[in-house]
Amino acid sequence: MRTALPRRLLVAALTVLLVVTATFVALHLVPGDPVRLFLGPGADPATVDATRHALGLDRPLPVQYLEWLTRFAGGRWGTSIAQQRPVSAVIGDAVGPTLLLVGASLLLTYVGGLLLGAWQAARRASRTDAAVTAATTLLYALPSYVVALGLVATFAYGTALWRWPAVLRFPAFGAAGLGADLLGPAARFTDRLRHLALPVATLAIVGVAGTARFVRGAVIDALRQPFVRAARAKGLRESRVLLRHALRNALGPVVTLFGLQLPALFSGVVFVESIFAWPGMGRVTVQAVLARDYPVVMASTAVFAVLVVAGNLLADALAALTDPRRRTAA
């Protein structure tokens, strides 16, 4: 890790630079005039020119590009056209809720996925294993917005309609109830947890299904290795062989999978936040796109990439922790 770290950081920085460049290129090379799109066809030429100037779109492209890079690096992302406040404030408010959502669902995804995958591997080729594999394949094929609507129908509307106990009735909108600020700390915490339940469940259901499929394969591969036979020959209990020997050796590929799954997770976040009105990055991006709020769209795309790159660095660090062989590998 010590020797690999500078290289990793360089790759990460390069990735972010490429994304920031891509957002710039996309904005300038795509046919159509963003100013006209924003103002609508009926705008008078003076307003068009004024807006173009305000957005800095009337300067030469290389100047604009350098300016966009320095401004992005310095966190000066301009002013949101739709909200009339700094883009950094708009995005700053949204990063926290998104990280909470992503963190909670990642935790559930990996705890659930590892346990389910190992459990399946222990009884591989049995009828229960086949049934669970069929279920995870189906759930993994379901788009997150479909899972989300199913959960809303069941646990927000359905529980009220069918008069299930109130504990099973979960809020489907927002991150906090009305007047949550007036509650005591304990009640506010419960309120936040209840609002988190459905969005996190959506991401975790899809995540557990994908992870369990992968873990099952990795653990089955590990169970075929000679060291597992050696562990069994020593007379270790099967549960210990499974968890301490097979599952532990399957962790390497799983950590690699984590890095690969992160972009997909952040894609799912966009849909989940839109459906549950969760005040995070995804919702901010969708609303900015619908409002043609270009400064926000450009900055949020780049911030999404920064989050994924940071997650990948974390995955590399985790990989080095779980597998000593990777500590010096590039």
Partner 1 sequence: MSARTGLLAGAWADPRARAGAALIAVFVVGAIAGPLLLDHPAGGFADIVARRFAGPLSRTPDGAWHALGTDRFGRDVLGRLLAGARISLAVGVLAALVSTAVGVGAGAVAGYAGGAVDRAIVAVTDAALAIPRVPFLLLLVALVEPGAVVTVLALGVTGWMTVARLVRSEVRSLDVREFVQAARALGAPPLRVLLAHVLPNALTPALVAAALGVGSAIMLEAGLSFLGLGVQPPMPSWGNMIASGRDALMIAPWVSLAPAVAVALVVLAFSWIADAMESVLAGERVP
Q: State the burial class of residue 10 (Cβ atoms within 10 Å of its Cβ: 0-12, 13-18, 19+).
A: exposed
Question: Looking at beta carbons only, is 86 or 158 nearer to partner 1?
Answer: 158
DSSP string, 14-76: HHHHHHHHHHHHHHHHSSS-HHHHHH-TT--HHHHHHHHHHTTTTS-HHHHHHHHHHHHHTT-
Contact pattern for partner 1 over residues 139 through 178, marking x by CB under 8 A: -xxxx-xx--x--xx---xx--x-----------------
User: How far is 120 from 113, CA to CA, in rounded Å?
Assistant: 10
Question: Looking at beta carbons only, is 292 or 327 nearer to partner 1?
Answer: 292
Tell me the sheet residues that pair with 86.
79
Q: How far is CA 106 from CA 159, 230, 268, in A?
A: 27, 34, 12
How many residues bind partner 1, per CB under 8 A? 57
Residue 211 near partner 1 by CB under 8 A: no
Residue 304 near partner 1 by CB under 8 A: yes
Considering only residues 61-90, where is the footprint of partner 1 by CB under 8 A?
none
DSSP-derived letter for residue 149 is H
Question: Looking at beta carbons only, is 231 or 284 nearer to partner 1?
Answer: 284
What is the helix (H) or strand (E) element at residue 316, kind and residue range? helix 294-322
Question: Looking at beta carbons only, is 148 or 231 nearer to partner 1?
Answer: 148
DSSP-derived letter for residue 164 is -
Residue 312 near partner 1 by CB under 8 A: yes
**Residue 86 phi, psi (nearest 5):** -55, 140
Are the C-beta atoms of 80 and 179 separated by less than 8 Å?
A: no
The one segment of 120-128, 202-210, 246-254, 258-266 that binds partner 1 by CB under 8 A:
258-266
The one segment of 55-63, 74-82, 201-209, 290-298 that binds partner 1 by CB under 8 A:
290-298
Q: State the burial class of residue 323 (Cβ atoms within 10 Å of its Cβ: 0-12, 13-18, 19+).
A: middle
Tell me the sheet residues that pair with 218.
none
Question: Looking at beta carbons only, is 180 or 197 nearer to partner 1?
Answer: 197
Tell me the sheet residues that pair with 79.
86
Given 9, 26, 43, 135, the residue binding partner 1 (CB under 8 A): 26
Residue 30 near partner 1 by CB under 8 A: yes
User: How far is 106 from 204, CA to CA, in rounded Å?
Assistant: 7
User: How far is 248 from 237, CA to CA, in rounded Å?
Assistant: 16
Contact pattern for partner 1 over residues 102 through 141, marking x by CB under 8 A: -----------------------------------xx-xx
The one segment of 202-210, 250-258, 260-268, 318-326 that binds partner 1 by CB under 8 A:
260-268
Question: Looking at beta carbons only, is 215 or 309 nearer to partner 1?
Answer: 309
Question: Looking at beta carbons only, is 242 or 294 nearer to partner 1?
Answer: 294
Question: Looking at beta carbons only, is 193 or 289 nearer to partner 1?
Answer: 289
- Residues of this chain that interact with partner 1 (CB under 8 A) are 11, 14-15, 18-19, 22-23, 26-27, 30-32, 34, 37, 137-138, 140-143, 145-146, 149, 152-153, 157-158, 161, 260, 262-268, 270-271, 274, 281-282, 285-286, 288-290, 292, 294, 297-298, 300-301, 304-305, 308-309, 312
